[in-house]
Amino acid sequence: MLCRKSLCFRLNPPRVAQRREYWYRAVNHQRLFGSWNTLRTVMRSPMFYAHIAGVGTLVGMVYCYNLERTPISGRVRFNIMGESMTQQLGKKYYEREMERYNDTILPPTSTEHSLVQRIFERIVASPGLAADTWKLYVINDPVRQAFVLPGGEVFVHTGLLNFCESEDEIAVVLGHEIMHRLMQHTSETLSRVLPIIFVDYLFSLASGIDQDLVGLATDVMFLLPRSRAQETEADYFGVQLAAKSGYDPSAALSMWSRWEALEEEVVPVYLHTHPPHHQRLVSFHSWLSEAKRTRLQGRSQVFENAFALQRCFCALDRHP
């Protein structure tokens, strides 16, 4: 019906079924099959496979050029993030975390900070670690958590300190975090994430499948398994580092036994960034004998260094 005074048209709204059909065709049907039809048209082009071969060759060259061996473990991996880029990213992370925890960071004179600092200095005194720049922060927060940033900033929550029953358990946690930084797990993760995001976008664009769903699938298949592998790698070398510094590696068993009894796994394993608690406990059991040998060797090296220093002092006394 036409309203002449207002010069506007008043039309009856379409029926619900018509609206549903319209949106189905406009959003789902046309987008999905239109994209596939476009893709099939492109694939019929005589230059399509030549372009695919060229892009594949270029991607392969970039991948091979950026292969490297992981520090300490020697595992071959793809890492496209340079050291300068990682450090810049680490500064951004550091600024964000400092802004987040600025009001809850304990002073260096606090009992908690002094405890962690003493253990931390003993661990980083190992050869090859003291030269790096490390900063330690203790956060007054009940969450049982510790993490490290690419720049060497280590954050430990008081909730984790209250959970640990000995300095040996704290040393196992610190060794784990230190190894994350030494093996540059952050840059490795970013090197995997960036190409996967690009592939997710292209696949979602071509297929019409929601990008969030595609992203979840690639996370489960590629990113999360690698994250769990990195955690296992940090567990293994972290407990070795703690043992080399003179701490008891069997503390990892007691700590993870309590953790397993305290928390129930409600999320499926394939959606976890970390291995399940019982799996980590089994892994530490298998590494215990080797870690104990590492501890004995570390103590022997400390004694040898002390005896060498004593011999040096004796020689100086004989020859003033």
Whether 240 contacts 185, CB under 8 Å: no
Model pLDDT, residue 10: 39
Residues 133 and 160 in one domain: yes
Structurally, how many domains does the chain consist of?
A: 2
Report how far residue 75's alpha carbon sits from residue 97's, in angstroms, rounded to the nearest whole number. Answer: 30
Residues 104 and 80 in one domain: yes
Report how far residue 134's alpha carbon sits from residue 129's, in angstroms, rounded to the nearest whole number. Answer: 9
Residues 56 and 83 in one domain: no
By C-alpha distance, which of 170, 85, 51, 190 is closest to 120? 170
Please say if 97 is a catalytic residue.
no
Model pLDDT, residue 136: 96
Can you name the residues that pair with 147 across neighbouring β-strands?
155
Kindly name the residue from 95, 121, 169, 177 that is annotated as catalytic. 177
By C-alpha distance, which of 122, 121, 153, 148 is closest to 136? 153
Q: Which domain holds residue 194?
A: 68-318
Q: How much of the chain, in percent, has pLDDT values that exceed 70?
A: 72
Query: Once rounded to an integer, what is the mean pLDDT over residues 256-272?
Result: 79
Q: Give how far Cα 228 sits from Cα of 26, 28, 189, 272, Å.
A: 41, 36, 11, 8
> Residue 8: inside a domain, yes or no?
no
SS3 238: helix
Please report the beta strands in 74-214, taking only residues with DSSP state E, as ranges in sequence order.
Answer: 76-78, 135-139, 146-148, 153-157
| pLDDT over threshold 60, residue 248 | yes
> Residue 4: inside a domain, yes or no?
no
pTM above 0.95, yes or no: no
Whether 192 contacts 162, CB under 8 Å: no
Q: What is the pLDDT of residues 22-51, one digit of tens each?
A: 444 544 444 444 455 666 666 677 777 777
Residues 249 and 276 in one domain: yes
Angle, to 10 degrees, between the axis of helix 224-244 and the axis of helix 185-207? 180
| pLDDT over threshold 80, residue 16 | no
Report how far residue 156's alpha carbon sits from residue 173's, in angstroms, rounded to the nearest whole number. Answer: 9
